[in-house]
Amino acid sequence: MFAGAFMMGAKDRLLPPSVPFRFFATAVLMHVAGWAVLLAGAGDLSGYMGGLGLPLAGLHLITLGVLAMSGMGAAFQMLPVATRRQLGPVWACRLSWWLFTPGVVVLSLGFATAWTWALHGGATLAVAGLALFAFLVGRNLMQVSDLPGVTRHVWLAVVSLVLLAGLGLLLVVDLDIGVLPDRAAVAATHALLAGYGFMGMLTMGFSMVLIPMFVLSQGVPDRVGTRSAALSAAALLLGAGGSLAGSGAAAALGGLVGLAAVAVHLKAQAAVLKGRMRKRLESFFRLVKGAWVVLPLSLAAGIALALGLAPDVTAPLWGLLLVLGWLLSFATGILQRIMPFLASMHSGANGGKPVLLSHLVWETPLTLHVAGHAGGVALLAVGLVLHSPLILTAGAVLGLAGALSFALFALVMTRRYQAYENTKNKGTPPE
Amino acid sequence: MSGDILKTDDGKAGPPAWLAQALDVAVLDVRPSLAAGEDPLGLLLTAADAVGFGGFLVVDAPFNPSPLRRVLAARGFSSYGRRLGPAHWRVFFHMDGGQDWDRDAEVDVLPEGALTWNEADGLHVDVRKLTPPLPMLAILRLLDGTAGLDALVVHHERLPQFLIPELAERGWQVVRTAEEFQDVRLWLERGS
C-alpha cells in the first residue's frame, strides 16, 4: 500500500495543489500585466517620485500581484511543512486569494485612472486578503518555538504587513480628504515597510529553508538567523521611524544597519552554497544570485535618497533596485524552481510514480526570462540615471518579453503536468 | 558513508518503540565527571529516582555503562544503548518495569545528525528530530553516496513530501510505509 493511503497524520499538512498554484498562476499573469503597464507608462518613469498614474499601477501589480501573491502561495505551502504545525483551514487560504486578487486588480486600476471607487474598493479587498493571510501565518507561528531563525524573520514580515497595510489605507483615504500632514513621508515609509519589511523578511526567512533544500545543503544555523533578524528589526525600526519622522539621518542609519543585516544573511547563504551536495546549480539560481547582488545596491540607493542626494534619480532608482532588482528577481527565480517542484511532489502524493522535474522544465523560455529580466532592469537603471525615455521604454520592452517568456514556461509546464496526470489516471503506466 | 561499515545488533532488531519519546529528553552527560576522576553513580541514581513510571533518563558516557544498566534494570528500567562515536555512548532508560531491559546498537552518525544502522531488512536511517531540510539531506546523502544500496528504511516524523521529487529524479521511490507513534517508517527502493 502506498503512503498516502494511511498517512493522514503526516500528509494533512500538504495543501491541495489548487491552493498554492492559484497564487502562482495569478502571479505569473500579474507579472506580465505589471511589465505591460510599466511599458505603457515608461514615459513617466524618469524622475518619478510618487503619485497616481501608470508607474504606480505597474509598481503595485508587481509588488502586490507578483511578490505578495507568490509569497502568500509559498507561505501557505511551505510554512506548515517547515514549522510542522497546521497553518489553517483550506477554505481560509482560498478566501484570502478571492479577496486579494480582485483587490489588486481593482486597486491597480484605481492607481492608473484615479477612480475613487476603485481605489477604495481595491484597497479594502486587498487589505482584507492580506489581513487574513497575516492572521493565518501569525497563528501558525505562535505554535512554534523551534526554528527561531526562520520564524523571527516571518514575524517581522507579519508586523510590517500590518503597519504597511494601515499606512496604505491612510494614503488612499488621504487622496480624498487630505488627512496626512506629510504624504511623501508616509508613502516612503509604506514603501520601505513593504519592500524590506514584508517581502524582504519573508524572502530572508524562507531563504533559510528553501535555498538549502534546493541546493541540498545544511540549513542556516539558528544563531545566525536570529542575528540577522535582530539587525533587520533594528534597521526597519530606524529606517521606518526616520522616514516617518522626516529624519533623513535616522533613515540613513537604518540603511547602514540594514547593510549589516544583509552581510550576515549573504555570508550565511554563501556558506550554504559552499557546503552543498548538488554541485550544478540549476538555471533558477541565476536570478537568485542576481537578486543577492542587487540587494545591497538597493540599500545604498536608499541611503543616498535618505541623505537627499539627487532625489530625482535616487528615488526611482531605489524603487527599481528594491522591487524589480532584488525582490522580483528572487521571487521569479524561486517560482522557476518551486512550481515544477511542487507539481512533481503533488503528482506523487497520492500514489504512483511522480512526474519528473526534468520532464516538466523547458529550459529555453527560462533562459529568455532571465535575459529579458536582467536586461530590462539594467536598461531601466541606465534610463533613470540618464533621464532617457527611449532607454526606459527599451528596458520595459525587454522586461515584458522576459515576463511573457516566463508565462510560456508556466503554460507548458502545466500542460505537461496535466498530460502526465491524465495518462496516469487512465491506468497507462507513464513513461 | 557506507552501510557495510555499520555493525549489526546481534540480538533484537532495531530500536525499541519507546525510543521516539525519549529523543526529546535532556541528556545527562557524565563524561566530564568521569574525566575529572569523579564517580557519577550517586548523581545517576538520584536522577533515576526522580523518574516516574513511563518516564525517561538519557545518559551520555564514554563507554557502555553495563553495570549501571544492570543496576537500573533491577529498579525497573529498560535501556537502549547506542555507540555514537569513539568514547561516546548514549544510553536511553525507560521506566517500564524493565520489560525489555538491554538492547544495544552500534550506529553511525551522519553529518546532519541522522543515525544509521543495519537490521535484517537492510540499512536504516533515523532522521527524527532533525530540522528541515536536514532529514532530506541525510537521506539523499545515503542514496547518493552508498555504493550498492538498493533499499533503505527511513524513520521519520512524517511523510516527507518534499523528498518525493528528489527520489524520483534518482530512480528511487517509496514502496511501503507504516505509521506508529512518532515513528513513520518508509521503505525506499531503487528502480522498482
pLDDT at A416 over 90: yes
Most A CBs within 10 A among B1, B161, B190, hence the mutation to make, goes to: B161
pLDDT computed for residue B33 by the predictor: 87
CB contact, 8 Å: B131 with chain A? yes
pLDDT tens column, A215-248: 988 888 889 999 999 999 999 999 999 999 989 9
Q: What is the pLDDT of residue B181?
A: 64
Q: Is domain B17-99 in CATH 3.90.1150.10, yes or no?
A: no
- pLDDT(A274) > 70: yes
Question: Angle at Cα A250 formed by Cα A245 and Cα A256, nearest 5°?
Answer: 145
Find chain A residues with C-beta within 8 A of B184's C-beta.
Answer: 7, 10
Domain that holds residue A208: 13-418
Q: For the segment B11-66, what is each residue's pLDDT rounded down to a tens digit?
A: 445 678 788 888 888 899 999 988 888 878 888 888 988 898 889 999 998 887 87
Sign of the dihedral defined by the CA atoms of residues A332, A337, A340, A346, in that order:
negative
pLDDT in tens, A106-165: 999 999 999 999 999 999 999 999 999 989 988 888 887 777 888 899 899 999 999 999
Residue B162 touches partner A, C-beta closer than 8 Å:
yes
| Higher pLDDT pick, A295 / B7 | A295
d(CA A29, CA A414): 14
Residue A7 lies in a domain: no
Test the A interface: residue of B24, B128, B159 with most A CBs within 10 Å: B159
* Chain B contact probe: residue of A7, A347, A420 with most B CBs at under 10 A: A7
| Nearest CA-CA distance, residue B184 and chain A, Å | 8
Average pLDDT over residues A74-101: 87
SS3 A225: helix
Identify which of A161, A18, A158 has the alpha carbon closest to the alpha carbon of residue A94. A18
| B108-190 and B17-99 share a CATH fold | yes
CA B175/CA B166 separation, integer angstroms: 15
The mean per-residue pLDDT over the stretch A278-292 comes to 89
Closest Cα in chain A, distance from residue B147 (Å): 17
Residue B164 contacts A where some CB pair is shorter than 8 Å:
yes
pTM score, two decimals?
Answer: 0.80
Q: Where residue A191 sits, what CATH number does that domain have? A: 1.20.210.10
- Three-point CA angle A205, A206, A210, nearest 5°: 140
CB contact under 8 A, B144 and A147: no
Number of CB pairs, chain A paired with chain B, less than 8 A apart: 90
Q: In the predicted model, is pLDDT for residue A59 greater than 80?
A: yes
A143 domain residue, yes or no: yes
Nearest to A349 among B112, B156, B161 (CB): B161
Quote the number of domains for chain A.
Answer: 1
Flag whether A430 is in a domain. Answer: no
CATH number of B108-190: 3.30.110.40
Report the distance separating Cα A326 and Cα A335, nearest Å: 14
Residue spans of the domains in chain B: they are: 17-99, 108-190
Within a domain: A354? yes
The DSSP string of A126-148 is HHHHHHHHHHHHHHHHTT--S-H
Q: Is the peptide bond before B111 cis (omega within 30 degrees of 0)?
A: no
Q: What is the ipTM of this complex?
A: 0.74
Is the minimum CB–CB distance between A145 and chain B shorter than 8 Å? no
b/e burial code for range A293-308 (CB count within 10 A of at least 16 → b)? ebbbbbbbbbbbbbee
Query: CA A54 to CA A34: how far, in whole Å?
Result: 10
Alpha helix (H) residue ranges in A62-115: 69-83, 90-113
Task: Tell me what the mean pLDDT of segment A194-202 comes to.
Answer: 94
